[in-house]
């Protein structure tokens, strides 16, 4: 096998898919329902990755009731339109296919609701490439990714030190560290170099090409 790991766990948003358009438009829709006009896209990028509840509270200091209303409005648009305002990062599908051919087990570990994760994978035709898909319940608002990573390892039947977690935000790195899984932070997503390193990223990849080189060093020779 030319790959370093027996299993590779991926985050979804900002790692496999560029979901910025759909997420931002759905957040704007939700905020407008509360009488808030937000046009600062850089500010809204903070919603890509963390649970919605956390970011609505952090940026807009909404009450629990208003946050629930905002999340409901967000999902009203997301499940019909926003989920498809999305694209695979260039090179991601070939990377997944290469890993699969090498006998590597693949999983998704995302704090996005499982029903949405499964639909995104189906929409892009990559669902068959994954051996395990781990997401959250629709009413779950926990940013701790470690239970999802543990669940993925259990389903794959792979020990922590033979797997690697790939993600673009600190939640991915922190979750991996807490479970004892090596991690690679991707800089083509929505987290910064400082964010990823401070959260414990073992390695960084500037691009999907660099990610492939880190995972399968023999493949580029």
| Residues with catalytic function | 11
Distance CA 221, CA 145 (A): 34
CA distances to 32, 42, 120, 137 from 62, in Å: 14, 20, 29, 22
Show Cβ contacts of residue 203 under 8 Å, excluding neighbours closer than 6 positions. Answer: 183, 184, 185, 214
Strand partners, 13: 17
Q: Helix H segments across the chain?
A: 20-33, 41-44, 52-60, 64-78, 92-101, 114-123, 146-156, 170-179, 193-198, 208-215
End-to-end CA distance of the chain: 14
Distance CA 162, CA 158 (A): 7
């Amino acid at each position: 096998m030319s790959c370093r790991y027996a299993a590779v766990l991926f985050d979804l948003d900002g790692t496999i898919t560029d979901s910025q358009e759909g997420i931002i438009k759905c957040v704007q829709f939700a905020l407008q329902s509360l009488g808030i006009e937000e046009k600062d896209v850089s500010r809204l990028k903070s919603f890509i990755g963390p649970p919605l509840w956390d970011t609505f509270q952090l940026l807009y200091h909404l009450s629990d009731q208003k946050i629930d209303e905002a999340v409901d409005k967000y999902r009203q648009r997301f499940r019909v339109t926003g989920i498809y305002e999305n694209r695979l990062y260039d090179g991601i599908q070939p990377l997944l296919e290469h890993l699969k051919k090498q006998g590597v087990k693949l999983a998704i570990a995302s704090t996005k609701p499982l029903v949405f994760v499964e639909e995104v994978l189906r929409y892009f035709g990559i669902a068959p490439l994954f051996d395990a898909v781990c997401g959250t319940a629709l009413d779950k608002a926990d940013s701790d990714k470690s239970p999802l990573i543990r669940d993925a390892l259990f389903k794959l039947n792979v020990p922590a030190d033979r797997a690697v977690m790939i993600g673009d935000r600190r939640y991915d790195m922190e979750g991996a560290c807490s479970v004892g899984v090596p991690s690679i932070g991707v800089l083509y997503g929505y987290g910064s170099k400082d964010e990823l390193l401070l959260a414990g990223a073992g390695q960084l990849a500037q691009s999907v090409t660099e990610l492939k080189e880190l995972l399968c060093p023999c493949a580029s020779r």
